[in-house]
Chain A
């Protein structure tokens, strides 16, 4: 299957070994979208590298700049002001909504649920409208900088009204269908199971891990930005199948709305960045982690004093950690279920290949 196949509009290849219609083993091949971004990063200065890393992924672009900027802030000894931390939470959660609703649409399409696909993409457009209202952009928001954010949210309550409208639509359409519909249940329950034990041994992260009973979420375990001031639950399911991944993401959509409501109503006044005109790096390596929509992203950034360019930027993306688990999910599955199973981890090959 692949590298170009109807399940996703991104390249990767699954070599499937079958007995009749049953998959007995699989080998995964990635790297068809390799762009050498880590190498390119060493040729960019501290402003250019933010723009470059924003393009690692077309869905969670903000998460990459957030993680990079947090690492660079450690090396420049800067702490973003409280308002900037709240704005970072707002944009990160909007991006999670955008990513989860996009995934829900693709999952619906793979289930043969085309009407739901159109509904999800309509909602996704509205999430992008909110992001555009905040940042002026719909894909690469250019929000993060060293020491804070580039743009303020002038009227948080107006954004809150848009979020509440979105939440009402999702509660009316997406959430009930994915949580209670017999079509979704019959298509997803019991397929593509990743056991808790296998999820632990493979180092699986994000919603895929939480659907296999692992209650890990960096927003809770290692809070960054203003997450320590937010109240939210971490949805966990224990079945490890496609339906569990569906449920976890549906519940996370509701939790994101809860976080957005808190961040927008409690947003403190003040500066949105440190305003440092001259950025001075100290020699060393800094590591930063963020809970992206697909799971943990980690950046290791090395710098030499007086250098404008990083010495090394290493990116560990969630799909890179989750993809090897697909082999165990498809073993024993029906061939016809493999597109939905591999899509159930919400893979991003652009991130994975870098």
Chain B
């Protein structure tokens, strides 16, 4: 049996914003270390996460009020800490990181099918979710159902 490391090296966590060229520090909220920046690029982020030996957890898609589109939140685990990165989607497409991070395959496919987001730069296999044969019918709400909703901030 092996012992499990419990505390991440703080310097590793602190080095991530610098590697990404982000001046803002981590903000801890809702059980997650958030790094907010308008200049974050998902593919650079995936490369830095790989180099830091962070484990990809999941992507959560949020449908914003009215015609504001969607928001994607990416989560990685770094030795027990959850790291979060939020990306607003003006259009219904976003760069795939499947070629950099194999673990995103199914969740990118699920969001593609549930919310009709097109992750560019990858091929899609047949539907994961059997209900509904058109992307976007399972989880995406019609715009009329979203009118008047306020944005939920992280």
Contact = CB atoms under 8 A, between A and B. Distances in A.
B81 A222 contact: yes
Contacts of B81: 222
B122 to A, nearest CB: 14
Counting contact residues on chain A (CB < 8 A from B), the size range is 35 or more
A240 B149 CA distance: 48
B106 interface: yes
A216 B77 CA distance: 11
Contact of B79 (A71, A75, A221, A287): A221
Interface in A38-74: 38-39, 71, 74
Contacts of A285: 30, 73, 152-154
Nearest to A216: B4
Contacts of B6: 220-221
Given A36-B138, A216-B4, A300-B73, A324 B106 contact: yes
Nearest to A32: B130
B5 A221 contact: yes
Nearest to B130: A31
Contacts of B3: 215, 234
A290 B129 CA distance: 25
B31 A286 contact: yes
A222 B6 CA distance: 7
Given A29-B128, A31-B129, A201-B102, A300 B60 contact: yes
Given A31-B131, A287-B82, A321 B103 contact: yes
A250 interface: no
B106 A323 contact: yes
Nearest to A42: B141
A298 B2 contact: no
A218 B31 contact: no
A284 B128 contact: no
Interface string A117-140: 000000000000000000000000
Interface in A1-56: 27, 29-32, 34, 36, 38-39
A202 interface: yes
A289 B82 contact: yes
B21 interface: no
Contacts of A151: none
Contact of B80 (A71, A218, A298): A218
B12 interface: no
A30 B152 CA distance: 31
A286 B75 CA distance: 12
A38 B29 CA distance: 23
A316 interface: yes
B130 A34 contact: yes
Contacts of B58: 298, 314, 316
Interface in B12-46: 29-32
A147 interface: no
Q: Chain B CB within 10 Å — which of A203, A217, A251 has the most?
A: A203
Contacts of A39: 138-139
A235 interface: yes
Interface in A294-336: 296, 298, 300, 302-304, 311-312, 314, 316, 320-321, 323-324
Interface of A: 27, 29-32, 34, 36, 38-39, 71, 74-75, 200-203, 215-218, 220-222, 233-236, 251, 283-289, 296, 298, 300, 302-304, 311-312, 314, 316, 320-321, 323-324, 353
User: What 4 A-B pairs have minimum CB-CB distances, sorted nearest first?
Assistant: A203-B103, A221-B80, A286-B30, A316-B58
Interface of B: 1-6, 29-32, 55-58, 60-63, 73, 75, 77, 79-82, 84, 101-103, 105-107, 125-131, 138-139, 149-150, 152-154
16 contacts: A27-B125, A30-B129, A31-B127, A31-B129, A36-B139, A71-B31, A201-B102, A218-B80, A236-B1, A298-B58, A303-B152, A311-B62, A311-B149, A312-B60, A314-B58, A320-B106
